[in-house]
Amino acid sequence: MNTAILAQIDGTYFSLIGRGIGAILLYAVVGVLLMLLGFWAVDITTPGKLNRMVREGRPNSVIVTAAGMVSMAFIVVVAIYSSAGALLEGLLASLIFGLVGIIVQVAGVRLLEWVTGIDIGEVLAAPEIRPQAYVVSAAHLALGLVVAVAIL
């Protein structure tokens, strides 16, 4: 790179880039941990082994799991956005709101399954797509949005 071009770059530029890369990595770690924790929470509260059913390509398990991951991402993204650039506060808010989001999603979705009479264990294990999987997925997405907007 031409030294004249480098000389024109503000001295704080590279420290901002370094801070930004660090923030990306830290938020990614928190986001992945929350998504894994959310997956685990859904797995232990539903009949059958969700991770095995996803690996086997059971379509309903994949649909519901994908909705749960996207839902958790909504919460983490809004927590990051609402932190207004304060890294420590943003990480802590993402973690706290993410944990609350997991609890709300698991409880809300289990309640919906109970009210509608959906046998989620049977739906997740089915080899063909069942309409009930879309209802459960929509509940995950809706609850994720509710928690995310509540953060604002």
Tens-place pLDDT, residues 90-133:
889 888 988 998 899 889 989 999 999 999 999 999 999 999 99
For residue 2, the model assigns a pLDDT of 65
One-letter amino acid for residue 132 of the chain: Q
Neighbouring C-alpha atoms within 13 Å toward the C-beta of 24: 6
26 Rama sector, left if φ>0, alpha if ψ -120 to 50, beta otherwise = alpha
Give the residue from 111, 112, 106, 115 showing the smallest Cα distance to 134: 112
Q: What sections of the chain are H helices per DSSP?
A: 3-8, 13-45, 50-55, 59-82, 87-116, 120-125, 131-151
Question: Looking up tokens 């770690």, which residue turns up?
Answer: 29
pLDDT digits (tens, 9 = 90+) for 51-89: 999 999 999 999 999 998 898 888 888 888 887 778 888
For residue 126, the model assigns a pLDDT of 96
Whole-angstrom distance, CA of residue 92 vs CA of residue 32: 14
Question: How many CB atoms lie under 10 A from the CB of residue 132?
Answer: 20
Task: Identify the band that residue 1 occupies on the pLDDT scale cut at 50, 70 and 90.
Answer: low
